[in-house]
Amino acid sequence: MSQRLAVTAWESLFRAQVGVMRALSADFPSHDLSLNEYDVLFNLSQQPDRSARLRDINQLVLLSQPSVSRLVDRLVARGLVEKLPDTHDRRGTIVRITDQGFDHYRAVAVTHMRTIDSIMSEALTPDELRQLAALTDKLRCPDSDPDEGACPGSELEAAEAQARAQPQA
């Protein structure tokens, strides 16, 4: 494979991601919750007990560690998350989404997911969406076995099962 092809593919992927994110940002359904705050609440909502160590949140979102700490502090002040001592590491902090935070996240998520569906489904067929998910999983976890679904955060199989279970309109 030529280096030029890899660079061209990367630039195309990056530009597509920027374009989609701009469209999502322009149509984000909340005026009191930023996309970054939503991202933290989304990631917490996906964790066991809806909580995670602060340093693990840093790995899940695309912000610097000091920015995540300040963002979490703002969410605490608004009652959307709480900070608790880590019982396994006294230096660590657990961040947990509150019931109020989860309810707020869900209210925004319903509309936000419709926007994501609209943007993605208008541009790609269901087969192309599956292929895109598989390719991006492969980029994120190049050493994982695609048949075992070993890439953390991959929801392709669960999404397909859910789509098959939903009645067709």
Least confident of 38-42, 56-60, 146-150: 146-150
Q: For the segment 73-109, what is each residue's pLDDT rounded down to a tens digit? A: 999 999 999 999 998 888 889 999 999 999 999 999 9
Residue at token pair 């890439």: 151
pTM: 0.78
Query: What is the structure's pLDDT at 155?
Result: 63
For the chain, the maximum distance between any two Cα atoms, rounded to a whole number of angstroms, is 52
pLDDT at 144 > cutoff 70: yes
Q: Which two tokens stand for residue 71?
A: 């963002």
Buried b (16+ CB within 10 A) or exposed e, 2-19: eeeeeeeeeeeeeeeeee
**CB 135 within 8 Å of CB 156:** no
Q: Which CATH number fits domain 16-108: 3.40.50.11540, 1.10.760.10, 1.10.10.10, 1.10.3470.10?
A: 1.10.10.10
Asked whether the CA dihedral 31, 33, 38, 41 is positive or negative, the reply is negative
Task: Determine what percent of the chain is predicted with pLDDT higher than 90.
Answer: 66
Q: Tell me the average pLDDT of the chain.
A: 87
Cβ of 45: how many Cβ atoms within 10 Å? 14
Task: Determine what percent of the chain is predicted with pLDDT higher than 70.
Answer: 85
Query: What is the structure's pLDDT at 158?
Result: 55
Q: Which two tokens stand for residue 54?
A: 């602060």
**CB 57 within 8 Å of CB 40:** yes
d(CA 10, CA 138): 14
pLDDT at 160 > cutoff 70: no
- Burial (CB < 10 A; 0-12, 13-18, 19+), residue 112, is buried
pLDDT at 21 > cutoff 80: yes
Query: What is the structure's pLDDT at 63?
Result: 80
Rg over CA atoms, the chain: 18
Residues near 24 by beta carbon (within 8 Å), at least 6 away in sequence: 35, 112, 115, 116, 119
Residue at token pair 């920027």: 18
What's the rounded mean pLDDT across residues 45-57? 93
The domain locations on the chain are 16-108, 124-141+153-169
- Burial (CB < 10 A; 0-12, 13-18, 19+), residue 139, is exposed
